[in-house]
Structure 1
Amino acid sequence: MPTTRLATSNDLPAWAIVIACILAAASLVLLVIEMRRRERGGIGILVTGVLALGALALAVMRPVRIAARESVVGARVVVLADTSRSMALASEAGGSLATDVQRSRTRQKTRDDVVAALSKAAPDARVLELGFADGPPKPLAGETARGQRSDLGSAIRALAAMPEERPSAVVVVSDGRLDDPQEDAPKPVLAELGHTIHAPIHTIATTRNELPDASVRRVANATAAVAHVPLPLRVDIGCSGGLACEKLTVTAKELREDGPPALLASGIADVKDGKASVDLTVTLDRAGVRILEVGIESPTGDAIPENDRRLITLNVARERVRVLHVAGQPTNDVRALRQWLKSDASVDVVAFFILRTPADTPGASQEDLALIPFPVDELFSVHLPSFDAVVLQDFDAQPYGLERHLPALARYVRAGGGLIMVGGPNSFVAGGYAGTPLGEVLPVSLDGAPGATAADTAPFVPAWTEPGRSAPVLGPLRAIVGDELPSMPGANVLGDVRPGGVVLWTHPTRTTKSGAPMPVLAIGDEGDGRSIAMGIDGGWLFEFSELGARTAGRGHGALWDGLLGWLMRDPRFEPAQVDLPEGCIADVPTTLRIRTAGHALKGESVVLDVTRLDKSGTAPVHVEKPLGDGDAPLEIALPPLPMGGYSARLRLGSGPTTRRDFACEAGGDEWADSRPDPERLRALAEATGGTFAFADDVRAIRLPKPTVVSAERHVVPVAPPWTWTLLAATLLGAHWFMRRRGGLS
């Protein structure tokens, strides 16, 4: 737009103008002081003196008239608004969740109002509104308070690395509860953020009020979680906002699918100055993903009861895979399996075979016997939970008193244990397992009707099923032998596969009652555990046969490495990998990502079932979706889930199931400490040259002024330089004359 204004001469430096103004002001002061010694003519002396000083200043500055066509370019200002989960908390006492806005204002609502007020306060500024939580900042529009972290440091560094124009200022709107920079960060660390972006960082705190809140602020374990090994936990408790906290009971429970949460440890927190720490020791019997609930009793008046318990996901490892191997007689298959188990350094095997029954009468004293009675009661009533897997190979349950322990063994499987039943003359139906609780956890049914055939002794070559060819559990074996399998010396007669089971090998001629090919090798899930039914006792032929000779006997180890690895949920043998890239927040939709790693067949369907571990009445989620053709991961949107532990079971086509347990928390780490931290924001602003304000004083933020750009500019002197000089000389002469008349020298 066209503008016209007066200015000083362009060839005059700014410092010269400043000196001229200072000298003129000093001369005026001296003139006023001299006026006290005048004899007469005070008004004339003062008027001519002021005019002379003004003319002299004009002669020095030589004013010009500038006519230009100018445009105003607003400064680039980046607003970084906190989108972490803590912004869903209330600004005032009276509510905690975002759905409580009728009772209390949330920090997110205050944040949005502040961002809107900033745009109004600087209408000429080019404001870019971004949200930050974990990772690079994202456009604020549509971003809700769901971030699992408040990583301002990463957002600043990502902003500095962007190829766009650098901002003239950054405005951070947050509650101050940041993960980076940390609470005790020194001033040089804070100043470095300003140096990174080369701009001042202004900060605005959304709230200054602490809610009355007791919470589990942190759960830490100093060592890795290992099955059967005590795990020490340090639980930090906080109490703020004037809430009365003295002694709080702290508990640690494991969420289990087979029943209510199991209490593992408890303690008393003695809260002093709003803080307390409790040391607990827990022991987890099962490896894999386990979910612990660590909580406290909610004190009266607690505004955020959701953070009184934390759901901790532990990936429990095994120091060694502990296997109980029980065999009825020393067959070639028993010897081969026992030798392989003993040769694997990662396996701790406890083996019993060549057993003596209680009915045997050896005719010798106990001191002279090399064979001891099978300690069935001690193993299956006391030590059973200490084993990761149980292998029953050609073993008859009746003579050894195992029948009364079959319900406990079935419960062991459903609680997360592994079971492999290997065939032989004394296994499956012949071993008395039909119609028992243990038979119900096998992946195949057993026909125990009178006169039912228990075994077929005719030699045969097992046939691959389509799921068997693609299942990762048999991938190592197929890499060695291909589609070739050795001839087996007969098979146990097995029934139809149970729901959830998968048949990998079948008999080439025998069928079940339903007319389906009879399973020879099947796997399946049962509750929290897994089971395998191998209806042959010729696995040793993978090592000692013509096929074994051609493959250097490596097939036997590959077969059992896959079976035992699948039983232990080794990721190598899972048909898919399931994860939640953004975690799970209670009552907020989330996404589950599936990677098949090339094991699935193109065009197969994906069947997903998500159930709550404690079976508390939450409706299960069932999704069926085609896998598609590319190698890109498949993402499945999950509806909002209440706070708790969940189990996701995924099946690709007719293959085996992959399981992933996960927890949904209301706020997670972001709600663990609900106190706002405006002082950290104030320190950040001071260290980077910015200003700090609360949400009710947004105009206190000093944003940069816009830049004026001239497209066309004309400079014309107001008068020739000699005119100003002549005027100054004339007025100085007049002033000298008036001074002489007034008696001043």
Structure 2
Amino acid sequence: MTFDPLIPAWLLAVLATLAAAIAAAGVARRARGAALRALGLLFLVLVLAGPRWRERTTAPLPDIAVIVRDRSSSMAIGDREHLADAAFHHLVHTLPKSTRLVVASVAGNGHDGTPFFAVLRDALSSIPPKRLAGVVAISDGEVTDKPIPLPSNVPVSALIPARGNQTDRALALIDAPHYGLVGHHVVLRFAVSDHGMDDRGMKVPVQISIDGKTVARLQAPADRPVSVKLPVTHEGGSVVTIAAAELPGEVSAVNDQAVFTLTGVRRRLTVLLVAGGPNPGLRTWRLLLKSDPAVRLANFTILRLPSEALAAPVHDMSLIPFPVDQLFNRDLGRFDLIILDQFSNNGLLLPPYLANIAAHVRAGGALLIEAGPEFEGPASLADSPLEPILPALPDGAGTVTGGFTPAFTATGRRHPVTAPLMHAAMAPWYRFESARRVRGVILLRTPGADGGAPLLVLAHEGKGRVAMLLSDQYWLWARGALAHDEAMAGPAEPLLRRTVHWLLGEPALAASRLTAHIAGGRLTVERRSLKGGAPGSAQVTDPSGKSTTLALHRIAPGRFTASIPAGAAGVWRVSAGGMTAYAGAANDDPAEYADLAASDRIFAPLARRSGGRIVWLGRTPKPGWGGLLHRRRARLVTGARDIPLLPALPAAILAFVLIALAWWRER
């Protein structure tokens, strides 16, 4: 019943109050006709209130059941995916009548695990709460976000593709250093956790390897952080693997290990530059070396020899004495690279000091010689204790003058020091020192039908390296570039920089090198070689131990590459040409792999509070809908009709008749 007042509600309330007061007063005085008057006033108020009877027609609405399917990577373990698919299709085919099904899937975005409840919240946003009959999760139970509030009368159930709660061991990195100084140690922190069992403090065997070589074995207590010092042995990247022993009966061993790349960084390298005298190229050397943040430069320029006569007393001269003994005896080991710029053996350095330089190079140091006209004759460094380590020696022709353009040799087109400069403009030089190669490789030469004379020669000597630039004209390129003279500009700065960094042992400039890296789910292999011939192949071993032969293809002179999918996490080993490289594939989603054991620890409390069910699909592969739904019986209003309970005119006439009878009775 509803009301449709003929007057405003406030006025109707006032009139009803007055009518009640009048009727009450009459009854209190026991006046004659009081009952008739009260009845007449009642009818009058009801007429003004407009009582109506409303009839509605409705239609039943189907209940809504929500199924959220877990399609994260952990569902691919064992037969979880098969059990989940079979249960889902069974529920779809046995859906009760007058029930509508809403299906949502959760797969994560690659770094946040399984955000189950975020997907559920989005699915429920368009469903009327009065029609929600139940929520069913088909999941292994390992979700990574927090539960959301749900209506208390809506059952929440979980179908878990396992026979019961499982166990799993996981190794997690707490602090993995990505950079470290060569020759020092870095601290690695990790923890081993066993899920599905209580074994806190139990010792777990752990093995740590760098580039496939075991560097540490230890017993790590479960569920407690462990710190280990790792050595940084060389510059560049190293693949570090931490692997825990498998837990008996665990569901998967894929998260028993962790992989990361540790990059070795050298301290600031110390370079000693000694110029035999002031020359136009000295400024270029100083600008190049002082602009490199990784280099600390010590520069000495010889302005006079001790044997030269002075026109003034020694105490009036402002020249600094050359600290020969300190540089080439006591402190020689402090220098990573020694550059002798147009330096002649004219008695300034005694043979023992030059022998010290040769021994320093063989022990791992580096030497670069820029030769000028002083390279010929009795003062040549070729006639000194340095001769056994020099890659080129004079051939008797001396200094050759005349314009020529330096050219790349076949080796120079492949070597990483000069290969990137092949398409650079090469302006002319006007002088070089005639020499013959005795060891090492020639990267630049003079043009000529017989192959030309060597200009830039690189060689290994013991543990160290030696380079010779057999012309003092490279500064012309630097000056041409500064003057914006294209006819004289050339790659002076990149040529010298790359030569210096090769001498300092930069791994990226190694002549023969095999590298492997993983990005975007693919393993890319690149081999660099100074030899020609067919590209050949590489042997790839994945983390499971399976080997694959990978054919390489040529992308540039001396460079060959290939790639394959690399979905498995762990260490990938690549072998080719007698070299070995490693690449580490970490788990794409650490949150997802933190715990792979199927469990009801999250959904069981929700099921108990809401009256839902936990179904282990390993025991009940085809569960029914019983206990998964709570009937809501919602209805939709399809029409309505209002029927007046008191016809206005007859009721008003009756009210006035009763009031008149009451007046007559009072007389």
Closer, same or farther: CA 685–534 of 1 in aligned 2, 3 Å: farther
Cα displacement (A) at 1:312? 1.7
Match of 2:140 in 1: 175
What do the CA deviations read for 1:633-680 (whole angstroms, capped 9, x no partner)? x9943377794244699xxxxxxxxx9962136898354534445333
State the alpha-carbon separation in 1 of the partners of residues 407 and 449 from structure 2.
11
Out of 118, 125, 132, the residue aligned to residue 107 of structure 2 is: 132
Cα displacement (A) at 1:371? 1.3
Contact 1:216 1:235 (8 Å CA) reproduced:
yes
Matching of residues 98-497 of structure 1 within 5 Å = 105-122=78-95, 125=100, 130=105, 132-135=107-110, 150-152=113-115, 156=119, 172-178=137-143, 180-181=144-145, 185=146, 190-191=148-149, 204-207=159-162, 209=164, 211=166, 213-221=168-176, 225-228=180-183, 230-242=185-197, 246-255=202-211, 261=213, 263=215, 268-269=219-220, 271=221, 274-297=222-245, 304=252, 307-316=255-264, 321-324=268-271, 332=279, 335-336=282-283, 339-340=286-287, 342-344=289-291, 346-349=293-296, 370-372=323-325, 399-400=354-355, 409=364, 424=371, 457-458=400-401, 460-463=404-407, 482-484=425-427, 486-490=429-433, 493=436
Cα displacement (A) at 1:132? 0.5
User: What is the DSSP-based 3-state SS (H/G/I as helix, E as strand, rest coil) of the residue aligned with 1:239?
Assistant: strand
What do the CA deviations read for 1:411-434 (whole angstroms, capped 9, x no partner)? x9xxxxxx785553779x969999
Q: Is 1:678 paired with 2:600?
A: yes
Q: Which piece of structure 1 moves more, 399-408 or 670-679?
A: 399-408
State the alpha-carbon separation in 2 of the partners of residues 420 and 201 from structure 1.
75
State the alpha-carbon separation in 1 of the partners of residues 554 and 105 from structure 2.
35
Q: Which piece of structure 1 moves more, 546-555 or 694-703?
A: 546-555
Number of residues of Structure 1 aligned to a counterpart in Structure 2: 526
What do the CA deviations read for 1:379-401 (whole angstroms, capped 9, x no partner)? 77xx89xx6x8879889999525
Contact 1:214 1:243 (8 Å CA) reproduced:
no
**Mind listing any 5+ residue stretches in structure 1 that lack a counterpart?**
1-8, 12-59, 90-104, 136-147, 356-367, 413-418, 440-445, 572-576, 584-589, 595-604, 628-633, 650-658, 723-745
Contact 1:592 1:637 (8 Å CA) reproduced:
yes
State the alpha-carbon separation in 1 of the partners of residues 233 and 187 from structure 2.
15
Contact 1:376 1:401 (8 Å CA) reproduced:
yes
Contact 1:330 1:353 (8 Å CA) reproduced:
no
The amino acid across from 2:71 in the alignment is D
TM-score (norm 1): 0.50
Cα displacement (A) at 1:82? 2.9
Closer, same or farther: CA 475–210 of 1 in aligned 2, 3 Å: same
Cα displacement (A) at 1:541? 1.0
Matching of residues 432-581 of structure 1 within 5 Å = 457-458=400-401, 460-463=404-407, 482-484=425-427, 486-490=429-433, 493=436, 505-509=444-448, 511-512=450-451, 520=455, 535-538=469-472, 541-542=475-476, 545=479, 549-550=483-484, 556-561=492-497, 568=506, 580-581=518-519
State the alpha-carbon separation in 2 of the partners of residues 338 and 544 from structure 1.
10
State the alpha-carbon separation in 2 of the partners of residues 353 and 455 from structure 1.
27
Contact 2:157 2:628 (8 Å CA) reproduced:
yes
Closer, same or farther: CA 151–348 of 1 in aligned 2, 3 Å: farther
Match of 1:662 in 2: 583
Percent identity (aligned): 15
Q: Is 1:87 paired with 2:75?
A: yes
Contact 2:570 2:585 (8 Å CA) reproduced:
yes
User: What is the DSSP-based 3-state SS (H/G/I as helix, E as strand, rest coil) of the residue aligned with 1:508?
Assistant: coil
What do the CA deviations read for 1:3-43 (whole angstroms, capped 9, x no partner)? xxxxxx9x9xxxxxxxxxxxxxxxxxxxxxxxxxxxxxxxx
Closer, same or farther: CA 87–62 of 1 in aligned 2, 3 Å: closer
Structure whose CA Rg is larger: 2
State the alpha-carbon separation in 1 of the partners of residues 629 and 64 from structure 2.
12
State the alpha-carbon separation in 2 of the partners of residues 110 and 530 from structure 1.
62
The amino acid across from 1:288 in the alignment is G
The amino acid across from 2:595 in the alignment is D
Matching of residues 617-628 of structure 1 within 5 Å = 618-619=547-548, 621-624=550-553
Closer, same or farther: CA 402–234 of 1 in aligned 2, 3 Å: same
Match of 1:653 in 2: none
State the alpha-carbon separation in 2 of the partners of residues 374 and 624 from structure 1.
49
State the alpha-carbon separation in 1 of the partners of residues 466 and 611 from structure 2.
66
State the alpha-carbon separation in 1 of the partners of residues 624 and 416 from structure 2.
60
Higher relative contact order (CA 8 A, sep 6+): 2
The amino acid across from 2:237 in the alignment is V
The amino acid across from 2:82 in the alignment is K
The amino acid across from 1:348 in the alignment is V
State the alpha-carbon separation in 1 of the partners of residues 440 and 122 from structure 2.
57
User: What is the DSSP-based 3-state SS (H/G/I as helix, E as strand, rest coil) of the residue aligned with 1:292?
Assistant: strand
Contact 2:572 2:585 (8 Å CA) reproduced:
yes
What do the CA deviations read for 1:20-69 (whole angstroms, capped 9, x no partner)? xxxxxxxxxxxxxxxxxxxxxxxxxxxxxxxxxxxxxxxx99898x9x9x
State the alpha-carbon separation in 1 of the partners of residues 437 and 634 from structure 2.
85
Contact 1:311 1:644 (8 Å CA) reproduced:
yes
Closer, same or farther: CA 155–432 of 1 in aligned 2, 3 Å: farther
State the alpha-carbon separation in 2 of the partners of residues 333 and 158 from structure 1.
74
Contact 1:266 1:280 (8 Å CA) reproduced:
no
State the alpha-carbon separation in 2 of the partners of residues 250 and 607 from structure 1.
38
Match of 1:28 in 2: none
User: What is the DSSP-based 3-state SS (H/G/I as helix, E as strand, rest coil) of the residue aligned with 1:289?
Assistant: strand
What do the CA deviations read for 1:189-208 (whole angstroms, capped 9, x no partner)? x45xx89xxx9987544347
What do the CA deviations read for 1:98-156 (whole angstroms, capped 9, x no partner)? xxxxxxx5433333334333433438756656451435xxxxxxxxxxxx762427973
State the alpha-carbon separation in 1 of the partners of residues 628 and 385 from structure 2.
78
**Mind listing any 5+ residue stretches in structure 2 that lack a counterpart?**
4-52, 303-320, 346-350, 510-514, 527-533, 618-622, 646-667
State the alpha-carbon separation in 1 of the partners of residues 197 and 639 from structure 2.
68
Cα displacement (A) at 1:227? 4.5
State the alpha-carbon separation in 2 of the partners of residues 161 and 489 from structure 1.
82
State the alpha-carbon separation in 1 of the partners of residues 164 and 387 from structure 2.
65
The alignment yields a C-alpha RMSD, in angstroms, of: 6.9
User: What is the DSSP-based 3-state SS (H/G/I as helix, E as strand, rest coil) of the residue aligned with 1:280?
Assistant: strand
TM-score (norm 2): 0.55
Cα displacement (A) at 1:349? 3.0
Contact 1:238 1:275 (8 Å CA) reproduced:
yes
State the alpha-carbon separation in 1 of the partners of residues 542 and 369 from structure 2.
31
Contact 2:395 2:436 (8 Å CA) reproduced:
no
User: What is the DSSP-based 3-state SS (H/G/I as helix, E as strand, rest coil) of the residue aligned with 1:678?
Assistant: coil
The amino acid across from 1:120 in the alignment is H
State the alpha-carbon separation in 1 of the partners of residues 106 and 575 from structure 2.
31
